[in-house]
Structure 1
Amino acid sequence: MSWLDFTELAKAHGEALAKAIFKAYCEDFVVEEVLGITPTEEGEHELLWVEKTGQNTAWVAKQLAAYAGISQRQVSYCGLKDRQAVTRQWFSLHLPGKQGPDWQQLNIDGVNIKQVVRHQRKLARGCHAGNRFVIRLRECQVDENHLTERMSRIQAQGVPNYFGAQRFGHGNNNLTRANQWFAGEWRPKKNQQDIYWSAARAYVFNKVLNFRVENNLWNELITGDVLQFNDSNTLILPDKIDDTAKQKWQQAELIATAPLWGKGRLLSQLQVAEIETKLAKEEGLLTEGLVSGGVAMARRPLVVYPQQLAWQQQQDSIEVSFYLPKGAYATAVVRELVDW
C-alpha cells in the first residue's frame, strides 16, 4: 500500500532553502530533556540524568536495570529519544529501602551518568515539559538574508505540528503492520499494540494537517474549529469560541486542533468536521481499527511554536537551536528550512 510519506507533506513556509546532510554524526543532533518538575531529593526512586550517544532509550534502560540488580519493569523514563544523537534524559529506578549502586563505576559505551538524585515518584511517559535541541545541518549553503527571513517567519507563525517519520517506522512499516492487523491478517503481541495504534492515529492527523497546509488553513481559524491552550490540554469547543477566545488565538495562547482518531465524539463542527470526516473516511481501515480497539478520540494542536529559536552559519553548515513542548518533533522545524 502507498502511504503519504513524511517527506511529501506540504510545507508551510515555501520551498526548502537548500539541501543538507542531517545527522551525519551523533553530535549533529543534541537533545536535552526538560523535566518540568523539581526532584524531592528523597523517596523510593532514584533519578538518573543520563547522557547517551548512539544508543536507544530502551536499551539503556535495560542496562541500568541489570547494573542495579532490578527488573526492567522498575526502570521508567518520560519518553524515547533518538539513537543517532547525543541525548540527555532522566531515568527513574524503583529502589525501595536501599541505596543505588555506585553509578560512577558504570561502564557502558556511549552512556554517562551526569547526576543522581532521589525522588518520591517514578517518571511516567509524557511527564516531562519538553526538549531543547541543537542541530547542525552540514554541506548547505544558504543566503544569510533568506535564512534570517525564513527563521523570522517560523518564529512568528510557528510550523505545522506534524508527527515525525520515526512514528511510522522504517519505510512506514508500522503503518503497513497496523493496516494488516486491522484487516485481520496479523496480530501483534499485546505489549506492541500501542506502537501500531499510535502510527495509525498519527497518520490520520498528518493527513488532516497536510490538507490544511495545502489550502493555507493550517494557521487560520475556520468555522467549527476546536481550540486548545498552548500550555495545557484544555479545549475550547466551537460554540464557546467568543471574541475573547479569538483574541487569545491571535496571540497564540490558543491553537486550532485536528483529531487523534479513536472512539468517541468528533468535537469539531461544520466546515472543520466536514474536512476531518471526509479525510478520515479515506483511511477507513485505520480509523475503524482505532475505534474497534477502544482508543479514545483526542485532539492535537495544528501548530507548534519553537521557543528560544537561534541560528548561526558556520562555513558550509547551519546550527539551529530551539525548545519544543513534549510531543512535538524537531524534524517538523528542520523540514521548513532544508531538504535532507
Structure 2
Amino acid sequence: MLTPAGATATTAATLAPWPFPFGSHYATPDLPGIGGVIKQREEDFLVDEQPRYQPVGEGEHCYLLIEKRGLSTQEVVALLARHFRVPRRAIGFAGMKDKRAITRQVFSVHTPGSTIDDFPMLQNDRAAVLWADMHTNKLRLGHLRGNRFSVKVRGVRMTQVLGARIVLERLRTTGVPNFAGEQRFGVRLNNHTLGRFMLREDYSALLDELLAPDPRFPHLNREARAHYAAGDYRAAIMAYPRGCRYECAALNALLKGPNPQKAFEAVDAAQRRFWCSAFQSAVFNRVLMERLEGRPAPLDALVEGDLAWKHDNGAVFAVDAPTLGDPRTTERLRAGEISPSGPVWGAEMTRAAGAPGDTERRLLDEGSVTPEALELFARRMGPAMSGARRPLRVPLIDPEVEGGIDEHGEYVRCAFELPPGAFATVVMREVMKNDAPPTGDGQDAHAEEGEAE
C-alpha cells in the first residue's frame, strides 16, 4: 500500500471515523415495514422520466427518448457518442437513472448541420430509441419535471399490500425524507469517504480506500485488492473486472511511478465530481437524520434561522420570528408548499442561521473538511460543485400500490412520482424497513439512481 506522501497534516490514520450516513431513521417509525427485497430483476424496477418540455421539431440538437435496460446513463452517453461520432460533451441528459432497471429518459445530441435522418438507426440490444425529434437547445441536468417509478417488492406475501398502502398514504400526507439514497455512496458505501480524502488532498489515503482490501466487503475483487496491497499493480489491473475503469485508471498511473496525486488525477473528472457530491450528500443526510430526531425541530416544522424551501419554484427564504408567528406559515407547511432545507455545502450555498446553521457547520466539521476546500474544488471542477440548498422533505405524488403474482412469485408493487433529485429507494426503505446494508454482488460498481443534480 502507498505511503502517505503528499498527505495533509492530519492523515487517514488520525481522522475520526465517518460512518455511512444512514441510520435507522424513518418518517414512519410507528408503521411496520413489509420486508422483502427490490431489484431482483431489471423489470422489477421501472423508471419513466417526466419531461419538463417537448422538442419543437427544429434546431441543432437531436432529442432521443431511449429505453435502456441494464445500462447506466453514462454508458448510454458513451454509446451515443460513438454512434453519432461526437464528443461526450455534445450529449445532454436531464438526470442519472438506475443501471439495474428498465428506464426511459431523453438524451440530446448536438449535431449542427445535420438532422436525425442523416444518421443510421441505433442498433443495441439494451438501448432502444422510442422516438426522435429536433430541438433548439441542449438538454441539461435538472431539465425534467420528475420521475415516475414502479417498483416490485419480492420475498413478501401479496396480502402485505395493505401495510405498504398505509405507509405510502402517510408519506403522501407528510412528505418523504429527502435522503440521498444508498446508491449515491456506492456498492461499498464509501464514495463519501473517497470524497472526504479527495477534498483534503490526502491522495494516498484515497487510493488505499479505493484499491486496498476492505474487511467490510472481503469478497469484492479480493484478488485485485490483494495485488494492490502487495504492490503488484499490473496483476491488480488484470484481476479487476472490465467495468472497474476508475480503479484501473489509477493503477495504470501507478505503474508509471508511485505518485498518489497523479494516480488520482487519472480518474475521470466526472467520477471525481461524483465523490465530492457523495461527501456533500453525507453531510446533508446527517442534517436530515438529526431533523428526524427533532433537532433543532421536527421535519414538518420550521425554527428561526431556517431557510425554507418553496416547492413551486425552488427558491428559499429566511425564517425569522415574524415569519414563524404568521399563521400562513403553518398552513403552507401543512399543505406541503414549503419545507425546511438542508445544506449541499459549497462556496455559493446560502447558509442557514441560528440553531440550524450551527448544526450544519458542526456536521461539516465532523467530516474534517472546510468550506475553503470545497470552494477550491469547485474552482477546479466547475460551478456545478459550488453548493446549493436542498429540501429536507419532498412530496410523494400519485402513489399506487397493488399485490399480485407472476411467473417469479408473489409481489407487492408500489408506483409513485418524485420530483427531480429524489430517490425511489428512500420511499421503498420506508415501506420495507430493512436496515441491513447491501453486501455487494461480486464486483465494484458506480450505481446511479433516477435523479437530477
Q: Structure 1 length as normaliser, TM-score?
A: 0.92
2:187 match = 170
Aligned to 1:302, which of 392, 405, 414?
A: 392
Aligned to 1:250, which of 312, 328, 334?
A: 334
1:124 match = 140
Map Cα deviations across residues 114-133 of structure 1 (whole Å, 9 max, x no partner): 00111011111121121110
Does the aligned pair in 1 maintain the 2:44–2:152 contact within 8 Å? yes
Does the aligned pair in 1 maintain the 2:175–2:393 contact within 8 Å? yes
CA distance change for structure 1 residues 71 and 97 in 2, over 3 Å: closer, same or farther? same
Distance in 1 between residues matched to 2:139 and 2:374, nearest whole Å: 27
* Residues 1:201 and 2:280 aligned together: yes
SS at match of 2:188: helix
Map Cα deviations across residues 236-265 of structure 1 (whole Å, 9 max, x no partner): 112373523343222211111111112257
Cα shift at 1:4: 3.6
* Residues 1:22 and 2:38 aligned together: yes
1:285 match = 369
SS at match of 1:276: helix
**Percentage identity across paired residues of the two chains:** 29
1:140-159 equivalences under 5 Å are 140-141=156-157, 143-159=160-176
Map Cα deviations across residues 135-165 of structure 1 (whole Å, 9 max, x no partner): 1011113645433322221110112100011
1:206-225 equivalences under 5 Å are 206-215=285-294, 217-225=298-306
Cα shift at 1:13: 0.2
Aligned to 1:231, which of 295, 312, 318?
A: 312
Cα shift at 1:202: 0.5
2:404 match = 314
Alignment gaps of 5+ in structure 1: none
Does the aligned pair in 2 maintain the 1:55–1:84 contact within 8 Å? yes
Distance in 2 between residues matched to 1:266 and 1:284, nearest whole Å: 20
- Which range is displaced more, 308-317 or 64-73? 64-73
1:241 match = 323
* Residues 1:136 and 2:152 aligned together: yes
CA distance change for structure 1 residues 197 and 319 in 2, over 3 Å: closer, same or farther? same
Map Cα deviations across residues 14-54 of structure 1 (whole Å, 9 max, x no partner): 16512212100001110011111121111111100000111
Letter in 2 for 1:322: F
Alpha-carbon RMSD across the aligned residues, in angstroms, is: 2.3
Does the aligned pair in 2 maintain the 1:255–1:302 contact within 8 Å? yes
Letter in 1 for 2:412: I
Q: Larger radius of gyration, structure 1 or 2?
A: 2
Does the aligned pair in 2 maintain the 1:25–1:85 contact within 8 Å? yes
Cα shift at 1:321: 0.6
SS at match of 2:421: coil
Map Cα deviations across residues 40-78 of structure 1 (whole Å, 9 max, x no partner): 111111100000111111111222222223232222211
CA distance change for structure 1 residues 8 and 175 in 2, over 3 Å: closer, same or farther? same
CA distance change for structure 1 residues 170 and 101 in 2, over 3 Å: closer, same or farther? farther
Cα shift at 1:111: 1.0
